[in-house]
Amino acid sequence: MDMRSAPEQTRARAESALPVSAGVGFKNVHFSDIEASAPDVGFFEVHAENYMGAGGPPHAQLMRLRRDYPLSIHGVGLSIGGAGRLDRDHLGRVKSVVDRYAPAAFSEHLAWSTQGASFLNDLLPLPYSATTLAHVVAHVDEIQEALGRRILLENPAAYLRFQSSDYSEIEFLREIVRRTDCRLLLDVTNAYVSAANLAFSADDYIDAFPMRYVEEIHLAGYAEDAVEIGDPLLIDAHCASVQDGVWRLYDRALARRGPVATLIEWDNDIPPWPLLSEQAAQAERFLKKDRSPLKTAPDRTPS
């Protein structure tokens, strides 16, 4: 067993290097617009699982983008929060994509999506217990060792709360960072959605988030639904423009973190390219805004 501390284990690993700018999720329907206009966006992000084939148009397009823009690769299938072992074959396929494109960052979700040999079509929440923490830490260590780099771990969107937990979500994320030396992806929309669904303060969540470890932010539009008893329910659907409440929360996050790579996610009901690029331009305006830091408690340094 490797008895080195997490910082020693990761010292030689590649660091994330996304530009401090606004990027967008790449969709192939926008490729011709991107080629024609050479847009002024900071980077493009893609899902690793969409590029696990050997070749063809998807790889040709991504190689073309890679010549002019940094890439961020976002995983959705590693099931980091699952109780079982990681799927080694899937991790190998992820590694092949990462090795092929040498992205500026690789990220995944604090969630689970597998049960034995079954793959579920969702990113599901996990209890914040000591047992789950041990599983997540082992999985993050395994992924970082396989990829030879730090990963960014994304906070989830929540629709329910487990009856008992040993940690708050913030404490759980902080402990993962302390034990693995990974970094964080702050999805501001997820924080907004979770706060609305579980009736806590989104501002307090942002004020407590360990911002010093955030290397990317995600913004997206959500959908509105209702549960059977009629209470409103927000869905992290990536299907619309970023709503005003999320922009306000993003501004609060930047007041604590400072400018950081920011992605506009839009995965369903894909808009025309001009609308997507305008969303990135709006994020860029927030990044360039002068602001005084909010007076909040400082992040605690992992020990």
Structural domain boundaries, residue 218: 6-287
Residue 230 lies in a domain: yes
Identify the CA nearest to 45 among candidates 93, 92, 107, 109.
107
Q: Which pLDDT score is estimated for 176?
A: 97
Q: What is the pTM of this model?
A: 0.88
Residue 20 lies in a domain: yes
Q: Which pLDDT score is estimated for 232?
A: 80
Q: What are 15-52's pLDDT values in tens digits?
A: 679 999 999 999 999 999 999 999 999 999 999 999 99
Residue 272 lies in a domain: yes
Q: Which pLDDT score is estimated for 54?
A: 85
> Any residues with CB less than 8 A from the CB of 10 and at least 6 apart, and which?
144, 150, 180, 181
Q: Do 136 and 110 form a contact (C-beta atoms < 8 A)?
A: yes
Residue 1 lies in a domain: no
Helix (H) / strand (E) element for 264: namely strand 262-265
Q: Which pLDDT score is estimated for 52?
A: 95
Distance of alpha carbon 250 from alpha carbon 231, whole angstroms: 25
Share of the chain above pLDDT 70, in %: 84
Q: Which pLDDT score is estimated for 92?
A: 97
Q: Which pLDDT score is estimated for 303?
A: 40
Distance of alpha carbon 117 from alpha carbon 104, whole angstroms: 32
Beta bridge partners of 25: 45
CATH number for the domain that contains residue 193: 3.20.20.150
Q: Which pLDDT score is estimated for 236?
A: 86
Residue 168 lies in a domain: yes
Q: Classify residue 32 by burial, with Cβ atoms within 10 Å: 0-12, 13-18, 19+.
A: exposed
φ/ψ region of 211 (left if φ > 0, alpha if ψ in -120 to 50, else beta) reads alpha
Number of domains in the chain: 1
Q: Which residues of 242-270 are buried (b: 16+ CB within 10 A; e: fewer)?
A: bbebbbebbebbbbbbebbbbbbbbeeeb
Q: In this structure, which amino acid lies at residue 149?
A: R
Block means of pLDDT (10 residues each) for the chain, 303 residues, are 41 74 97 95 97 92 96 94 89 97 96 56 76 95 98 90 85 98 98 94 98 98 73 87 97 97 96 97 93 49 43
Q: Which pLDDT score is estimated for 9?
A: 45
Q: Which pLDDT score is estimated for 102?
A: 96
Identify the CA nearest to 178 among candidates 11, 4, 5.
5
How far out from the chain centre does Cα 268 lie?
Answer: 17
Q: Which pLDDT score is estimated for 244?
A: 96
Name the pairing type of β-strands 44-47 and 71-74.
parallel
Q: Which pLDDT score is estimated for 222?
A: 94
Residue 140 lies in a domain: yes
Q: Euclidean distance between the first and final Cα of the chain, in Å?
A: 21
Sign for the pseudo-dihedral over CA of 75, 78, 80, 81: positive
Q: Do 193 and 236 form a contact (C-beta atoms < 8 A)?
A: yes
Identify the CA nearest to 109 among candidates 69, 164, 156, 161.
156
Distance of alpha carbon 230 from alpha carbon 128, whole angstroms: 28
Task: Count CB atoms within 10 A of the CB of residue 33.
Answer: 14
Residue 254 lies in a domain: yes
Residue 11 lies in a domain: yes
Q: What are 67-111's pLDDT values in tens digits?
A: 999 999 999 889 998 888 999 999 999 999 999 999 999 999 998
